[in-house]
Structure 1
Amino acid sequence: MTSTSRRGSLIRDAENAEKENASSSSSKSGFWKKCEIVVTSAGNTMSQICEKLKNEDVIVSYIETRNGTLIKNVAGNSNTSFLITCIGNDNDITTGLKRLESIGCKATIVNGTERTAEWFPRHVTELELCRGTKTDYEPDKDSNHPGFNDPVYVERRNYISNIAHFYKHGTDIPTVDYTNEDRQTWSVVYKTLKRLHATHACKVYKDNFQRLEKECGYSPNKIPQLQTVSEFLKEQTGFQLQPAPGIITPRDFLASLAFKVFQCTQYIRHPASPMHSPEPDCCHELIGHIPMLLDPTFALYSQQIGLASLGVSDSDITKLATLYWFTVEFGLCKENNVLKAYGAGLMSSYGELQHALSDVPMHLPLQAEKTCLQPYEDSVYQPIYFVSESFDEAFNQVRAFSQHCTKRGFDITYNENDGYIQTVPYINL
């Protein structure tokens, strides 16, 4: 997702998410709002009422039976009224009320002004709408980028990025014909990092890296194609790759994880700086991220952060992005009481991997509710790293955090069989 030299940008991007989402959301479904309605039932069960609303993508988050409040209908019979709090966009709520009227209910909006959730994709194919990118660090924009004065590199980068812009879910990821320069850069990065991984990486990472060498052709002399890696990854943990045009905005990137999709760049960093990149490239993605995504528990952890991000506020996106940063990107763990690294930002950075396991920085236990608030340094190695006792512990923490520390009013699950997100309301009767 991010390169090690771009530390801090994920959080800054999240903090500026409202501005970024203004343009990217305009082609989507708009903002959701919380709406309170009073429904007078004409003999319909509560489940029938909820089902009608659910069919219009309206989420019921609270139901209160108005005991003792009986309303006479025209025939003189008494009907019970309900106060229902629901969440949805204007069109869906309006249609939902019409559906209630069609089964003989009377529904009246009593409060519908509070915006409660941002748009989020409901089907895996809608991830095509989640490709918002930051362009500040691209070689034709940033004068500090190693490729800034290399028009040939810029043209090639743009060509490869366009593959992602036009990619359609369910189709094969196009093959990139890497140049000799690309392969030389990959080889330098690969050999240098692998030597350090032998002593600094956790066992899960090292074992899975060996599997990638065996099954996907990882080697110093060959850059794996995303389609090959994606097929193997999906067989193992259900995750699959989708080509990314560049640095994806936090909300869009985290949303893709909910669907077990990892947005992955295909271009290679500039050959003038093989051990440094101001943005993510496939060295960072394939060497840093993919080995850990082959671990079932770690894959569930990544998906849980994605599910937690759907529909939440910008401030919650910032918290989740921070949690992602200090775990998936720069996380440490214990193995037989020995400190080891698993974060992709560390596994793809020779210098920071050495720094992280030294006595220089602080090593604190992972506590999701505190870690999510920890600021991090932008231009130097991290002064603080967070340590997980196990991946199971980290998964349980982020699951609990997403349920209790984000303000959404409903829970979310992903049905892999049909590719749809399902909403699960928090109902208090």
Structure 2
Amino acid sequence: MAMKSLLLNQTKQLFTKPIWYPRSRRDLDCIDKSHRNIIDDLGNSYPGSNDIDYMNWLSSMRNYDTPADSDVPDAYYPEQANKTWNILYGKLKELHSLYACDEHNQNLIELENKNIYTENEVPQFSKVNNWLNSKTGFKLVPVGGMINARSFLYGLAYRVFFASRYIRHISSPFYAVEPDVVHDLMGHVPLFANEEMAEFSQEIGKKSLGASDEKIDQLAKIYYYSVEFGVIGEKILGAGILSSSGEIINVGEKKCKVEPWELKKVLNMDYVLHDFQPLLFKANSLTEMKKFVFEAVES
């Protein structure tokens, strides 16, 4: 019986085509970076759909392909976009001081002190990348929207974060139907400058290289409930929370359930994309969260 099982496994390996994956940051230029078209999905319900100038600008912000090893050119932000940033920046910064983890707040203060983040203009990726490179080697590479989980995780393996440069419409400043530049700059960037968090994110990405579709689904779920919606102690870690004033208040004022990290429960969770999270998972510290995640991706 054991011999039969061995032969079946060997035969399966002979006829299973290996999954191609990038071997370097430069190879990331070959991966699929097509994005989900949420504008078509929502139609007239997409915030700003009746604003022709905004929709034309939004389209221009989605249509580019920056090589992963190249410098990111500066983007044009109209007055309305900078006003939206201004509305959000002050509110989020105030809430971060109350509820965000120390690792996040320390780097947000540094970004301000170096004049990379200001309240009046959307920060440019070129300045952010120069700073991130000096801290941990992470880099933001713009994409047109939400790309598939495999490609996104491949980027993390080489300390590349595929990010959005467009910003939500001013008519809906406190709610975004998809991750935008506010999510990436106010949620992710300060923590990517922390070496422990950079290693944490990269390790999830490394485990995706050549992984099966089933493993990719598991890694995406682990990432979602740690990097995006994780809690450490009584403070917020996750970028998905830190980029939403409503979500911060929901978590900070303990209006949602938070349980100790448990891999089985995490993998059985359903994604909640257009409402507040009903259940989150926490560790006592970033070090402990990293330990839990490392154990999870090894399993």
Q: TM-score, normalised by structure 1?
A: 0.64
Structure 2 CA distance for partners of 1:127 and 1:382, relative to 1, 3 Å: same
Name the structure where helix makes up a greater proportion of residues: 2
Deviations 1:165-190 (A, max 9, x none): 2x123322111121111110000010
Runs of 5+ in structure 2 lacking a partner? 1-6
Q: Which residue of 14, 18, 29 maps to 1:128?
A: 29
Instruction: Report the counterpart of residue 194 of structure 2 in structure 1.
Output: 295
* Number of aligned residue pairs: 293
Deviations 1:82-135 (A, max 9, x none): x9x99xxxxxxxxxxxxxxxxxxxxxx9961235x5321122112112343333
Q: Which residue of 340, 353, 359 maps to 2:235?
A: 340
Q: Which residue of 352, 360, 363 maps to 2:247?
A: 352
Structure of higher CA gyration radius:
1
Structure 2 CA distance for partners of 1:140 and 1:147, relative to 1, 3 Å: farther
CA contact (8 A) 1:237 1:294 kept: yes
CA contact (8 A) 2:230 2:280 kept: yes
SS at match of 2:39: coil
Is 1:155 matched with 2:56?
A: yes
CA contact (8 A) 1:161 1:245 kept: yes
Written as runs of structure 1 = structure 2, the 5 A alignment for 1:360-379 is 360-379=255-274
CA contact (8 A) 1:130 1:253 kept: no
SS at match of 1:311: coil
AA partner of residue 22 (structure 2): P
Amino-acid identity (%): 33
AA partner of residue 256 (structure 1): G
AA partner of residue 123 (structure 2): P
AA partner of residue 226 (structure 1): F
Written as runs of structure 1 = structure 2, the 5 A alignment for 1:251-270 is 251-270=150-169
Tell me, in whole angstroms, the C-alpha distance in 2 between the residues paired with 1:278 and 1:380: 10
CA contact (8 A) 1:305 1:320 kept: yes
Instruction: Report the counterpart of residue 278 of structure 1 in structure 2.
Output: 177
Instruction: State the 1:378 CA deviation.
Output: 4.1
Structure 2 CA distance for partners of 1:143 and 1:318, relative to 1, 3 Å: farther
Q: TM-score, normalised by structure 2?
A: 0.91
CA contact (8 A) 1:134 1:247 kept: yes
SS at match of 1:152: helix
Tell me, in whole angstroms, the C-alpha distance in 1 between the residues paired with 2:85 and 2:13: 58
Runs of 5+ in structure 1 lacking a partner? 1-82, 87-108, 405-429
Instruction: State the 1:140 CA deviation.
Output: 8.4
AA partner of residue 285 (structure 1): D
SS at match of 1:393: helix
Tell me, in whole angstroms, the C-alpha distance in 2 between the residues paired with 1:256 and 1:216: 27
CA contact (8 A) 1:139 1:148 kept: no
AA partner of residue 138 (structure 1): I
Tell me, in whole angstroms, the C-alpha distance in 2 between the residues paired with 1:208 and 1:285: 14
Is 1:307 matched with 2:206?
A: yes
SS at match of 1:263: strand
CA contact (8 A) 1:140 1:154 kept: no
Instruction: Report the counterpart of residue 125 of structure 2 in structure 1.
Output: 226
CA contact (8 A) 2:36 2:147 kept: no
Tell me, in whole angstroms, the C-alpha distance in 2 between the residues paired with 1:140 and 1:181: 24
